[in-house]
Amino acid sequence: MKRFLDIIGDLRIAFWLLLAVAVIMWIGSLYASAEYQLFDSLNGVRVQDWFSEKGLGALSSTWWLPALFFAFALLGLNTAACTLRRVMALWPRRTDMPAKRFMVLLSPSIIHLLFIGMLSGHLLTFTALTQEKAPIEEGVVLDLAGTGEFTVKSVKNEFFDKGSLLADRIRQTTVELSFMKNGVERTVPLEFLHSISMNGALLQLDMQKRKKSGAPIAQNPADETCNKEHNYHYAELLKETRPQLYIIATRDPGLFILIPGFALVILVMGWYFYQIGFGRESKAPPID
């Protein structure tokens, strides 16, 4: 068992796997830029469905995706073995040192376990996500991703102050949704950045710019920006050309791992690096 863990948990393998993952993602980013529409269609759908429907037909552009998942699988295995090996070496020594020192030594293992949790959470998101998106306007009745029927009662835009250079641009939109619960009509507001939960699905507001004729503008590859605002340039969102609003309904089991995992990994990592003086070699603990 120890020999097995030593081989698959080797740190040299971890190093080269991390570099391999970086290289594959860099190659993938070039394909994602060159074929924006193809890879954008992967967002919001399960990766296995997308790959059998679109990926297999474009293998010359999508080959890196299975390679990436394979490399991540190996990295997860390597990290698990390495962590187990380290904890097995540390645990018998827990009474030989102060508890704080033991926790400092154990922290990298906890961070690595959280990293494995993050990988699992993302895998769950990519393979088990359900997402539906529909355009909305006042009066429309929808049933998305098992939310049950609800009606868009009203749509109200709030604009930036008249005196500013942003005057007449949308600051916030409030959509009132009504639905029946126990025979009683209920109304809830939905706004940008303020999602609501309906029958276990997460509802969020999204929008896309329109031409003056009212037709939505096809997504432009150039809109994949540093600001993650890939849908449209908001500079053009004036009162005269109101954007097309959408509601996105999402069921994502991976979030239950990812969201608490994010908080934990930052806390543990921050505490660990603080304890070792943020990389001063003399304060860094040995590997085992």
Partner 1 sequence: MTIHALLYAAAAMYAAAFLLHLAGKGRGSFAALCSGFVVHTAYQVTRGWIAGIFIPNGMFDGLFLISWGMALAVILSKLLSDSEMAWESAAAPIFLFAVLALVYPKGLIPPTPNKLTVWANIFFLTEVTGQACFYLAGWFAAVGIFTKRVTNNYHSLIVWGFVLYSVAQVTGALWAYIGWATTFRWGSRHLQSAVIWCYFAAYLHLRFLPRWGAREKSWYAAAGFFVVAFNSLGSHLHEMGFPRIGG
Q: Is residue 114 a contact partner of residue 106, using CB atoms and an 8 Å limit?
A: no
List the Cα angle 104/110/113 in 5-degree steps.
160
Q: What is the DSSP letter of 222?
A: G
- Segment 209 to 268, residues that bind partner 1, using CB under 8 A: 222, 224-230, 233-237, 248, 250, 252, 254-255, 258-259, 262-263, 265-266
Q: How many CB atoms are located within 10 Å of the residue 134 CB?
A: 14
From the list 3, 100, 211, 280, which residue makes contact with partner 1 (rule: CB under 8 A)? Answer: 280
Minimum distance of partner 1 from residue 93's CB (angstroms): 18
- Segment 154 to 193, residues that bind partner 1, using CB under 8 A: 160-161, 163-166, 169-173, 191-193
Q: Please state, in angstroms and rounded to a whole number, the distance separating the CA atoms of residues 74 and 102.
A: 29
- Count of residues near partner 1 by CB under 8 A: 78
From the list 44, 76, 135, 253, which residue makes contact with partner 1 (rule: CB under 8 A)? Answer: 44
Decide if residue 147 touches partner 1 (CB under 8 A): no
Task: Give residue 264's identity as a one-letter amino acid code.
Answer: L
Q: Please state, in angstroms and rounded to a whole number, the distance separating the CA atoms of residues 152 and 150.
A: 7
Minimum distance of partner 1 from residue 224's CB (angstroms): 5
Q: How many CB atoms are located within 10 Å of the residue 66 CB?
A: 13
C-beta closer to partner 1: residue 29 or 180: 29
Minimum distance of partner 1 from residue 145's CB (angstroms): 11
Binding mask 84-123 for partner 1 (x = CB under 8 A): --------------------------------------x-
Of 200, 199, 192, 198, nearest to 175 by C-alpha is 192
Decide if residue 21 touches partner 1 (CB under 8 A): yes
Minimum distance of partner 1 from residue 131's CB (angstroms): 7
247 forms beta bridges with 134, 205
